[in-house]
Amino acid sequence: MSDEPLHGEEAIIQEYLAPLAAGYPGALGLKDDCATMTPTPGCDLVVKTDPVASGIHFFADDPPADIGWKALAVNVSDLAAKGAVPRAYLMALSFPEPPTRSWMAAFGAGLGEAQAAFGMHLIGGDTDRRPGPITVSITVFGEVPTGRMVRRAAARAGDILFVSGSLGEAALGLGLVRDGGLGRTLGLSEADVQAAVRRYRRPQPRLAVRAALLAHARAAMDLSDGLAKDLGRMCRASGCGARIQIDRVPRGAAAKAAIAFSPRYWNDVLAAGDDYEVLVSVAPDQADAFEAAANAAGGSASEPFPTTRIGEMTGSAEIRFVDGSGSPISLAKSGWDHF
Amino acid sequence: MSDEPLHGEEAIIQEYLAPLAAGYPGALGLKDDCATMTPTPGCDLVVKTDPVASGIHFFADDPPADIGWKALAVNVSDLAAKGAVPRAYLMALSFPEPPTRSWMAAFGAGLGEAQAAFGMHLIGGDTDRRPGPITVSITVFGEVPTGRMVRRAAARAGDILFVSGSLGEAALGLGLVRDGGLGRTLGLSEADVQAAVRRYRRPQPRLAVRAALLAHARAAMDLSDGLAKDLGRMCRASGCGARIQIDRVPRGAAAKAAIAFSPRYWNDVLAAGDDYEVLVSVAPDQADAFEAAANAAGGSASEPFPTTRIGEMTGSAEIRFVDGSGSPISLAKSGWDHF
Nearest to B49 among A26, A48, A125 (CB): A125
**Interface contact A146, partner B, CB < 8 A:** yes
The per-residue pLDDT for A329 is: 84
State the pLDDT at residue B5.
78
**What is residue B16's predicted lDDT score, i.e. its pLDDT?**
94
Could A128 and B78 be called an inter-chain contact, meaning their C-beta atoms sit closer than 8 Å? no
Query: Of B104, B119, B145, which one is at a domain's C-terminal end?
Result: B145
Model pLDDT, residue B303: 92
Report the C-alpha gap between B252 and B265 in whole angstroms: 12
- Structural domain includes residue B153: no
What pLDDT shows up at residue B165? 98
Give the ipTM: 0.92
Using alpha carbons, list the distances in angstroms from residue B102 to A163, B14, B106: 40, 15, 6
**Residues A150-197 pLDDT 10s:** 999 999 999 999 999 999 999 999 999 999 999 999 999 999 999 999
Quick check: B26 and B36 in contact, CB under 8 A?
Answer: yes
- Mean pLDDT, residues B212-229 taken together: 97
Å from B122 to nearest chain A CA?
12
Q: Do A137 and B39 touch (CB under 8 A)?
A: no
Does B137 contact A82 at a Cβ distance shorter than 8 Å? no
List residues bridging with A48 in a β-sheet: A140
Give me the DSSP letters along A137-196: EEEEEEEEETT-PPPSTT--TTPEEEEES-BSHHHHHHHHHH-TTHHHHHT--HHHHHHH
Residue A273 lies in a domain: yes
What pLDDT is attached to residue B36?
96
Q: What is the pLDDT of residues B157-181, one digit of tens each?
A: 999 999 999 999 999 999 999 999 9
Percent of chain B with pLDDT over 70: 97
Identify the weakest region by mean pLDDT among A76-85, A319-328, B85-94, B226-235: A319-328
Of B127, B139, B221, the CB nearest to A90: B139
pLDDT classification of B234: cutoffs 50, 70, 90: very high
State the pLDDT at residue A135.
Answer: 95
Cβ contact B48–A41 (<8 Å): no
Cross-chain residue pair B46–A39, CB shorter than 8 Å:
no
Interface touch A32/B125, C-beta < 8 Å:
no
- Tell me: do B214 and B254 sit in the same domain: yes
Interface of A with B in 88-117 (CB under 8 A): 90-92, 94, 96, 98
Count of domains observed in chain B: 2
Q: Would you place residue B56 in the very low, low, confident or very high pLDDT band (cuts 50, 70, 90)? A: confident
pLDDT tens readout for residues B284-295: 999 999 999 999
B152 domain-assigned? no
**pLDDT for residue A77 is more than 90:** yes
DSSP conformational letter for A12 = I
Verify whether the Cβ–Cβ distance B34 to A78 is below 8 Å: yes
Evaluate whether B223 touches B278 at the Cβ level (below 8 Å): yes
CATH of the domain at A122: 3.30.1330.10
Nearest CB neighbour to B33, from listed A39, A81, A130: A81
Substitution target from A46, A47, A278 for chain B, most B beta carbons within 10 A: A47
Q: How many CB atoms lie within 10 A of CB A236?
A: 16
B334: confidence class by pLDDT, cuts 50, 70, 90: low
Q: Tell me the C-alpha to C-alpha distance, in Å, between residue B253 and each of A110, A226, B191, B192, B250.
A: 51, 56, 10, 6, 10
Q: What is the mean pLDDT of residues B241-263?
A: 96
Q: B132 and B199 share a domain?
A: no
- Is A296 or A323 the better-scoring residue by pLDDT? A296
Same domain assignment for residues A264 and A136: no
Residues A79, A188, single domain; the answer is: no
d(CA B47, CA A186) in angstroms, rounded, equals: 48
- Would you place residue B9 in the very low, low, confident or very high pLDDT band (cuts 50, 70, 90)? confident
| B305 and B165 in a common domain | yes
- Dump pLDDT digits (tens) for B176-197: 999 999 999 999 999 999 999 9
Alpha carbon distance A71, A159 (integer Å): 32
Q: Does A235 touch chain B (CB under 8 A)?
A: no
Q: Which residues numbered 29-68 in A keep a CB inside 8 Å of some CB on B?
A: 31-39, 41, 44-51, 53, 55-56
User: What pLDDT, on the 0 to 100 scale, is given for residue B27?
Assistant: 96
**Domain closes at, from B145, B175, B193:** B145
Same domain (yes/no): A141, A263: no
> Does pLDDT of A89 surpass 80?
yes
pLDDT of B229 > 90? The answer is yes
**Mean pLDDT in residue range A57-77:** 96
Q: Residue B11: closest CA among chain A residues belongs to which residue?
A: A339
Q: Which domain holds residue B201?
A: 160-329
Q: Is B153 on the interface with A (CB under 8 A)?
A: yes
- The answer on pLDDT for B279 being more than 60 is yes
Q: Is A230 within 8 Å of chain B by CB?
A: no
If asked whether residues A176 and A322 sit together in one domain, one would say yes
- Looking at the fold, whether A176 and A128 belong to one and the same domain comes out as no
Residue A230 is assigned to a structural domain of this protein? yes
pLDDT reported for residue B7: 74
H or E element: which one contains B291?
A: helix B287-299
As a whole number, mean pLDDT of residues A229-255 equals 96
What residues contact residue B231 under an 8 Å CB cut-off, 6+ apart? Answer: B161, B242, B244, B279, B319
Return the pLDDT at A339.
54
pLDDT of the residue at A337: 54
**Of A28, A39, A137, Cβ closest to residue B45:** A39
Q: Is residue B60 part of a domain?
A: yes
Residues A124 and A215 in one domain: no
Whether B131 and chain A come into contact, CB under 8 Å, resolves to yes
Question: Residue B336's pLDDT band (boundaries 50, 70, 90)?
Answer: low
Average pLDDT of the segment spanning B24-52: 94
- How confident is the model over A74-102, as a mean pLDDT? 96
pLDDT class of B249 with cuts at 50, 70, 90: very high
Contacts of B154 in chain A (CB under 8 A): none
* Contacts with B88 (C-beta within 8 Å, 6 or more apart), sequence order: B24, B26, B27, B35, B37, B120, B121, B122, B123, B140, B141
Percent of chain A with pLDDT over 90: 86
Whether residues B227 and B322 share a domain: the answer is yes
pLDDT for A306 equals 98
Question: What pLDDT score was predicted for residue B335?
Answer: 58
Task: With a cut of 80, say whether residue B8 has pLDDT above it.
Answer: no
Chain B residues in contact with A50 by the CB 8 A cut-off are: 92, 126
CB contact under 8 A, B47 and A31: no
Taking a contact as any Cβ pair under 8 Å apart, which residues of chain A between 249 and 308 contact chain B?
A: none
Domain boundary (A115, A145, A175) is at: A145
Write out pLDDT tens, residues B119-139.
999 999 999 998 899 999 999
Percentage of chain A surpassing pLDDT 70? 97
What is the per-residue pLDDT for A9? 80
pLDDT tens digit sequence for A109-150: 999 999 999 999 999 999 999 889 999 999 999 999 999 999
Whether residue A65 is contained in a domain is answered as yes
Residue A1 reports pLDDT greater than 70: no
Residue of B nearest to A130 (CA): B56
Q: Is residue A71 part of a domain?
A: yes
Please tell me which of the candidates A9, A123, A137 has its beta carbon nearest to residue B92. Answer: A137
Say which CATH number the domain at B256 has.
3.90.650.10
Same domain, A121 and A195: no
Based on the domain organization, do B173 and B110 belong to the same domain? no
Q: Is pLDDT of A87 > 60?
A: yes
pLDDT of residue A333: 57
Mean pLDDT rounded to a whole number for chain B: 94
Residue A229 within any structural domain of the chain: yes
- The predicted pLDDT at position B337 comes to 53
Interface touch A33/B81, C-beta < 8 Å: yes
